[in-house]
């Protein structure tokens, strides 16, 4: 069975609701990336140096990442020689296939849940990326799964952070453990872990301060939080999720590199993917960081945080082209 047929069959087994969410959430990227490539193929019938240069610009513009783009172009050149492709239109499905391979990587392992007690998930990331919103949406997800959830308001420094988390707690119908603004974040975590034990909570979601990653005191605070949590639950936190804003593109990648090295990040959450035409940042992140993208934000509703699914992502971008290729193969059969 061909690559495109396998992909289509795999997607047909997914729920239509999730497929539609990915399709809607990636509309800007689809128009920006796939639309620009289609336009290039129509304008330039011939594959020459100028064609490759324009293709490079399109891919870099979609934040696929310079290193990844250079490797991709080299692979395309090799395929053109190997398959003796002359018409630019024949290169488009090859590009789709190559991008798909880059995106798929290892399958999303899902969240690491504690089978014997409270699962503690720590959220890190700079201010303004949607960290508190992500925590609220994830609390809602766990609630929908029938789990008892609690939130810890560990970002005690940013004005309004505690109140914002409380609003999300009310929306999701979960308790928020807090102290006054300016309190010691580690003390909040201590209270939260003790309360979670007393109330037989399944999942404790912990917000943390989001000042810039080059502030050494922030890393000291995170280490202190780790120690306090581990004294109460030795194998916690079970996940350290770094929240990144997809609309910031390469800046998000830089944040992940700097923050991830210092704070023991186990996975990434990419927010506001629906608000950018540069969804290629997902490719760059998966290629340049040895960290899985575990969740993506595909809209503003409480249910729009979805587990990252590479096949859904690819299908949302290339659905029309995938269908065309399958139909061509069926005609030739």
Going by the annotation, the residues of the binding site are 125-132, 207-211, 271-274
Strands 119-124 vs 267-271: parallel, antiparallel or unpaired: unpaired
CA–CA separation, 293 vs 283, rounded Å?
Answer: 10
273-284: string of b/e by CB count within 10 Å (b at 16+)?
bbbbbbbbbbbb
CA–CA separation, 305 vs 311, rounded Å?
Answer: 17
Q: Which residues are annotated as a binding site for GTP?
A: 125-132, 207-211, 271-274
Structure tokens, 329: 């193969």
Asked if 213 and 254 touch (Cβ cutoff 8 Å), the reply is no
Q: Tell me the β-bridge partners of 267.
A: 241
Size (the chain), residues: 333
104-141: string of b/e by CB count within 10 Å (b at 16+)?
eeeeeeebeebeeebbbbbbbbbeebbbbbbbbbbbbb
């Amino acid at each position: 069975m061909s690559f495109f047929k396998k992909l289509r069959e795999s997607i047909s087994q997914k729920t239509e609701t999730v497929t539609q969410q990915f399709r809607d959430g990636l509309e800007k990227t689809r128009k920006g990336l796939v639309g620009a490539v289609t336009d290039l193929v129509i304008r330039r019938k011939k594959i020459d140096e100028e064609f490759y240069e324009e293709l490079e610009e399109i891919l870099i513009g979609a934040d696929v990442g310079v290193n990844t783009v250079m490797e991709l172009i080299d692979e395309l050149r090799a395929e053109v020689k190997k398959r003796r492709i002359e018409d630019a239109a024949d290169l488009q499905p090859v590009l789709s296939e190559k991008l798909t391979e880059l995106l798929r990587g290892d399958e999303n392992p899902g969240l690491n849940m504690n089978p014997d007690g409270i699962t503690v998930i720590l959220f890190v990331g700079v201010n303004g990326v949607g960290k508190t919103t992500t925590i609220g949406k994830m609390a809602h997800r766990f609630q929908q799964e029938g789990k008892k959830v609690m939130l810890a308001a560990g970002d005690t420094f940013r004005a309004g952070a505690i109140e914002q988390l409380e609003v999300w707690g009310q929306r999701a119908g979960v308790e928020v453990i807090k102290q006054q603004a300016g309190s010691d974040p580690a003390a909040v975590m201590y209270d939260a872990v003790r309360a979670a034990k007393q109330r037989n909570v399944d999942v404790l979601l912990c917000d943390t301060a989001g000042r810039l990653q080059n502030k050494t005191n922030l890393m000291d605070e995170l280490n202190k939080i780790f120690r306090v949590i581990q004294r109460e639950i030795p194998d916690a936190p079970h996940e350290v999720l770094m929240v990144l804003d997809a609309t910031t593109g390469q800046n998000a990648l830089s944040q992940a590199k700097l923050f991830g090295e210092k704070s023991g990040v186990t996975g990434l959450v990419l927010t506001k993917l629906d608000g950018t035409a540069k969804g290629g940042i997902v490719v760059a992140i998966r290629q340049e960081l040895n960290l899985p993208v575990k969740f993506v934000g595909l809209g503003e509703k409480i249910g729009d945080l979805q587990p990252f699914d590479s096949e859904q992502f690819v299908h949302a971008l290339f659905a029309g082209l995938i269908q065309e290729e399958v139909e061509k193969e069926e005609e030739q059969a």
